[in-house]
């Protein structure tokens, strides 16, 4: 997800792939910065290792919302963000 967002932002930065997760180290740091409980932050960070998008074709009917692809959702979020402030990464 993070690499795809990077691509959609047109940011040319190399990715560093490690054979282990830094979440156990990064989660307490992120929680301290955000002023949140690490018990909330760590599971959220761990969830980034798996697919979060529903693949059930009934999702639109169940949630009564229009479904969008991941790229479309990210592009919309970036447009909304840029309407508020310039994105420093670009």
- 43-56: per-residue pLDDT in tens? 999 988 877 666 66
pLDDT band per the 50, 70, 90 thresholds, residue 90 = low
How many residues appear in the chain? 90
In Å, what is the CA distance from 75 to each residue of 10, 18, 80, 83? 11, 28, 9, 12
* Longest CA span, the chain: 40
- 54-81: per-residue pLDDT in tens? 666 677 778 787 777 889 999 999 999 9
Supply the mean pLDDT for the chain: 87
- pLDDT recorded at residue 53: 61
pTM (two decimals) = 0.57
pLDDT band per the 50, 70, 90 thresholds, residue 16 = confident
């Amino acid at each position: 997800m993070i690499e795809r967002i990077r691509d959609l932002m047109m940011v040319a930065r190399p990715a560093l792939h490690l054979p282990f997760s830094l979440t156990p180290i990064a989660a307490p740091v992120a929680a301290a910065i955000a002023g949140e409980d690490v018990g909330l932050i760590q599971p959220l960070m761990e969830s980034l290792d798996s697919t979060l998008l529903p693949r059930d074709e009934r999702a639109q009917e169940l949630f009564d919302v229009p479904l969008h692809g991941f790229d479309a959702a990210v592009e919309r979020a970036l447009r909304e963000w840029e309407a508020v402030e310039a994105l420093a990464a670009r």
